[in-house]
Structure 1
Amino acid sequence: MRTFPHYLLLRPIRALATPFALTILLSGCQSMGTDGLVASNAPPEISGPAASAIAGDMVSRLAEQIGPGKATVALKPETSPFGQALEAALKGWGYAVVTDQKTDSGTKVIPLAYVIVPFDGQVLARLSTDSVELGRAYTVTANGAMPASALSLMRRG
């Protein structure tokens, strides 16, 4: 009598783990700041090349949603490699970036928050504005990072 190899049951479960974790990251309990966005957070152990790759990909996807370089983006100051890479990527796409939250009264400002969470050998990344949230899982390598999931997009009404 042959027995069923139970490890085959774990493959579909592992395949669903990353999207499930990404869903939880995007829709679960969130610590909201005073402006309604989650507080920005990124672990300092993410390397510069990985931070740049993730920030570059996420900002390009953000630009698809809000238009490239059409507004000033407000970031809370943060000195992690990802925070610095995100600011550089935003400027590379033509966005003006303010970190002191002070702008001219006529300037359209988009508050932007981010969260980077290591999970199960990957990194889950989320960018949040008042109108859209983007999320994606990445596999981090020595030379950077590569997307490991489809982009998750949530629009706010």
Structure 2
Amino acid sequence: MRTFAHYLLLRLIRALAAAGTFAILLSGCQSMGTDGLVASNAPPEISGPAASAIAGDMVSRLAEQIGPGKATVSLKPDASPFGQALEAALKGWGYAVVTDQKTDSETKVIPLAYVVLPFDGQILARLSTDHVELGRAYNVTASGATPASALSLMRRG
């Protein structure tokens, strides 16, 4: 029979394991793309409502860091629901989104990459630019997703 202390210890171990995995996700130990950012990747099994909720939350936090709608975002989306939801959320916040198009030399372009991973019943999401990286864990429900952790923010010089 487990005591309350055992229960707390197991919860602590689980939280530390999740935090460690999240730290690895945020550390940039994923495969790098040609522009120095993490290659974009999201599993196709994330539902449309969950993908939209996660993308909407992450883009709103990104806008707090780079300013809403002040630049063109270069995105290499995949065919996943998250890739499509991210592009829609960026446009909803007023960003111009280019995928394979060239822009003129005077246009400020922010390359953006993302990683979305299922882990231990949650979804870990990360957005990366040349200057900022955002990460957060989410609980997925039938109707969408809700943040399960504080926002992790890393700025690069």
Q: Normalised by the shorter chain, which TM-score bucket?
A: over 0.9
TM-score, normalised with respect to structure 1: 0.94
Alignment of 1:4-153 (within 5 A): 6-153=6-153
Question: What are the superposed Cα offsets for residues 52-109 of structure 1, whole Å, 9 maximum, x if unpaired?
Answer: 0000000000000000000000001321100000000000000000001411111000
Conservation of the 8 A alpha-carbon contact between 1:75 and 1:99: yes
The unaligned stretches of length 5 or more in structure 2 are none
Q: Give the 3-state SS of the residue equivalent to 2:23 in structure 1.
A: helix
Conservation of the 8 A alpha-carbon contact between 1:138 and 1:147: yes
Q: Tell me the amino acid that sits aligned with residue 131 of structure 1.
A: H
The alignment covers a number of residue pairs equal to 155
* Post-superposition offset of 1:43: 0.2
Once the two structures are overlaid, the 10-residue window that deviates more, 135-144 or 18-27, is 18-27
Q: Tell me the amino acid that sits aligned with residue 137 of structure 1.
A: A
Q: Give the 3-state SS of the residue equivalent to 1:59 in structure 2.
A: helix
Counterparts of 1:94 and 1:5, CA distance in 2 = 50
* Post-superposition offset of 1:18: 2.6
Runs of 4+, deviation exceeding 6 Å: none
Q: Tell me the amino acid that sits aligned with residue 34 of structure 2.
A: T
Conservation of the 8 A alpha-carbon contact between 2:28 and 2:38: no
Conservation of the 8 A alpha-carbon contact between 2:77 and 2:84: no
Q: Give the 3-state SS of the residue equivalent to 1:74 in structure 2.
A: strand
| Root-mean-square deviation (Å) | 1.5
